[in-house]
A and B are shown apart, each in its own frame.
Chain A
Amino acid sequence: GQQVMQIPQYQHVQEGEDFTTYCNSSTTLSNIQWYKQRPGGHPVFLIQLVKSGEVKKQKRLTFQFGEAKKNSSLHITATQTTDVGTYFCALPGDSSYKLIFGSGTRLLVRP
């Protein structure tokens, strides 16, 4: 079945430093989604990537889909305390409607 690995599990950075989380799949993906969950909150959709090598930006967030469509990354430039939370990637599962969520990367930012 579908295997997804998300790393790192946890990262603690100084405000202003950059942050990157990586998501790796055992199979080629049709698409990948990213969600953010603030502490005590619920996951909120950030973006979806579909095309090989696709790069999308949302302000300080840069999302990338690998050329082979097996991996993806989320990079945050100059982190702020508002970036604190857990970032999950979500991959298509074994059917047309399932999403398999990665284990998440928890980001803490020191002010």
Chain B
Amino acid sequence: GAGVSQSPSNKVTEKGKDVELRCDPISGHTALYWYRQSLGQGLEFLIYFQGNSAPDKSGLPSDRFSAERTGGSVSTLTIQRTQQEDSAVYLCASSLGGLNYNEQFFGPGTRLTVL
């Protein structure tokens, strides 16, 4: 079936505006992750969802960042009052069960540019 999809692929916004990034995980995958990747850098964990459990938000860099996952499927990452340092590629990944020995499948990412 289809892989993880993300939209939009690119987003350019002005400082101070809010943005919403969307992730559609692989059907049947109960675990969903959001990561941030700055240019030439590694992957920074942001948030994790597993089934109906409370999400692990420990990686969110500030209270301007929030995410939700509706119906155990689609997830939206919202950044309020964007800042230039928020510019990065935001990657979503899903996996079976969420255990750390399960392979994570990544989406193509959303490249966010804050002017």
Contact = CB atoms under 8 A, between A and B. Distances in A.
A23 B103 CA distance: 18
Given A31-B100, A103-B42, A42 B91 contact: yes
Nearest to A93: B100
A61 B18 CA distance: 43
Given A95-B56, A101-B42, A44 B106 contact: yes
A50 interface: yes
B56 A33 contact: no
Interface in B15-41: 31, 35, 40-41
A7 to B, nearest CB: 13
A85 interface: no
A15 B109 CA distance: 30
Interface of B: 31, 35, 40-43, 45, 48, 50, 56, 91, 93, 98-101, 103-109
Interface of A: 30-31, 33, 41-45, 48, 50, 88, 90, 92-93, 95-104, 106
